[in-house]
Amino acid sequence: MEYVVLNNGVKMPKLGYGVYQVTPEECERCVLDAISVGYRSIDTAQAYGNEEGVGNAIEKCGVPREELFITTKVWISNSGYEKAKASIEESLRKLKTEYIDLLLIHQPFNDYYGTYRAMEEAYKEGKIRAIGVSNFYPDRLIDLCHFVEIMPTVNQVETHAFQQQAEAHEIMKKYEVQHESWGPFAEGRKDFFTNPVLNEIGAKYHKSAAQLALRFLLQSDVVVIPKSTHKERMLENINVFDFELTEDDMQAIRALDEKESAFFSHYDPATVEMLTGLVR
């Protein structure tokens, strides 16, 4: 496994396993499978409802806790200092761990400044090794970076071949915030896996479109957390460190960028109403 060093000196695997939309019933088995084929970074969230499955796998996997990198996220309904503080303790309990490697604010809504203060406090107490954000567009990321005590280490945003976040990436670099991708396959939208560019380049290296997509992001200095419930796909997704794309390959994939979400925009009032409405 290859690693990035975050702005606080913590090492984070460049490729991890995400458990978004993995059912609570399947989660333990999936995480155990992922760890067995070599994953050491596991990404979950309070909103996914499967932190306990991740915790069970951590307990049973046989890999020393210090060799694992566990990420979770504080949901909108737990925003604000007091609620976030309590939710961090609940996540620690569910994950069956004394510390979380990376804790993110899941969405840039509600009292996320209060949430961040609770995270900074937990960081100072050694309960969290690194703190950051998710779904923060450049305007909100810049605002946060200027008014917090501890700089965020990571920003996890939708990033894939069709939404490459090039401008946001430059802002993250400026503020030394590591860019991390959610949805590196766009959940199969836009005929992702049959895309001719990804498949034609992949054929040169005997790799799939999925592997090409992950390799492209890795070479773009983006951390990735692909998800699959199938062990053979988990193995395929982690097998992306034995080849390197040429600059011509990279340019061809960069040309796929449509510069818009395959899902929803956080600037869209309807999206904001939908997300904030989930807490009522």
- Mark residue 127 as left, alpha or beta (left: phi above 0; alpha: psi -120 to 50; beta: remaining): alpha
> Of 3, 17, 20, 48, which one is the catalytic site residue?
48
Residues annotated within a binding site:
106
Measured CA distances, 111 to 48, 77, 79, 83, 107 (Å) = 20, 10, 5, 10, 10
116 is known as an active-site residue: no
Residues annotated within a binding site for substrate:
106
Please state the φ and ψ torsions of residue 154, each to the nearest 5 degrees.
-140, 145
Question: How far is it, in rounded angstroms, from Cα 50 to Cα 74?
Answer: 13
- For 256-269, b/e burial (b = at least 16 CB within 10 A) is beeeebbeeebeee
Decide: 78 and 112 in contact? Cβ < 8 Å. no
User: Which residues are catalytic, by number?
Assistant: 48
